[in-house]
Structure 1
Amino acid sequence: MSHPALPRRLLAEFLGTALLVTAVVGSGIMATQLSPDDVGLQLLQNSIATALALGALILTFGPVSGAHFNPVVSTADWFLGRRAGTGLTAGQLGGYVLAQTVGAIAGSILANLMFALAAVDLSSKERAAGHLWLGETVATTGLILLIFALARSGRSAVAPAAVGAYIGAAYWFTSSTSFANPAVTIGRAFTDTFAGIAPSSVPAFVIAQVAGLAVGVGLLLALYPGVERVADDVVVAPPRTPAVRSTSEESTPS
């Protein structure tokens, strides 16, 4: 299967991650403005906007880069695919992670600017507790399982809806509200708003997400033998080149 050139893929990862964080942060700001006295309603508004935006972004950028938007997804893609010669190479993985992280920071800055806030305003919201780290591990494990199980079972086409639905639900069933993404976690440290996370809380969240990655990959290998062969189909398979019709077929009247 041929892939778009790496610069195009990295641009797609940068833009997709940036717009994802813009949706997360921007909808959080709007929610606090619309429902200033109801935190539950704020979370509902934030989660719905994030889930819908994520599905749309996967549809938009999936055919170019796979729409990972997440270093743990890209790392799983590299780790699982390296034995079968599929998925990302180590060099491509480094490019993806850098593009995703820079994109996440840019997305947070963009959201701040859209709501007339300081471009960079480091968050003061501490999220440091064992139950939150456990929530991040659970959220990340589930995300890795979902994405690669869809690819392994030939259902990558439903990934936009399924991944968006999972993240929207995980806002509510995890104690951490499911960041499940190291790049997004770093990006959200650059906004002191509803969706922010204090820089001092970021390292532990990332460690928990890496733990979720390890658990998710281990479960995939146990549950879905041969999953490494479909790393090229994560998250949305790149479009295959249509077969060229023969001259005889083209000239045959219908």
Structure 2
Amino acid sequence: MKTRLLFLILFFVATAIFAQEKTKYFDANWKPTVKEEMVYYRPEPKAVNGKYFFKDYYKSGKLQFEGFSLSKTEEKFDGEVKYYHENGKLSGTSVFKNGVLNGAVKLYLDNGKISQDAIYKDGKEESIDVYTYKGTPVQGDPIAYDMMTSYRGDDRIKQVVFEGNPKGMRQEMYFNELKALYYGADGKLMGTMIFDLYGNPNNGTLFEFEFNPMRVSAKRIFVEGKEKVASKI
């Protein structure tokens, strides 16, 4: 009886040690480390329908990451993976195909607002929209509006200035076309301005805005570079 009891004790001890070895620990830079110095940890991935379900956690036990990999021992992710802030809100999503980024890659602030929205193909970034929100320091001073800037490769293509609702009142600037579109609070187009090569108003209707809240402060009409009508609103 004593021999069998001793065997059972040793069996459970060995099982516990083996289970601990299957959990990997990482430091703040995701370098492997010991349990006592970990910032993140990863239990052994589970097999699900021919793939392996990875789940990473903060030291606090809160979920940090989840996604499927084609390998049990490698991060060869396939499909959409999700990242989380420690407060439980989504911090990002990425779409992989056979371990390579292919599709949308989105990042979110810890308040839930999107900060970046990119498209990748075969591991390379094709386009990205970058969001900057009111109060963010720009060149030392906090900006008074929200802004979304679109890039295609190294080229800045589009910039949208808005306040709260990117589909409501806003100004859209298209750099390659030297064109600005202005929308009212109802989201309907109010006017269009074409600029010359030096960035000066050339033809169309230009609207100026004030903020907090965002509103039209002036309307100016240009014909062949000359201002024909100007009115304060």
Higher relative contact order (CA 8 A, sep 6+): 1
Does the alignment reach a TM-score above 0.5? no
Normalising by structure 2, we get a TM-score of 0.18
Q: Which has the larger radius of gyration?
A: 2
Structure with greater strand share of residues? 2
Structure with greater helix share of residues? 1
Normalising by structure 1, we get a TM-score of 0.17
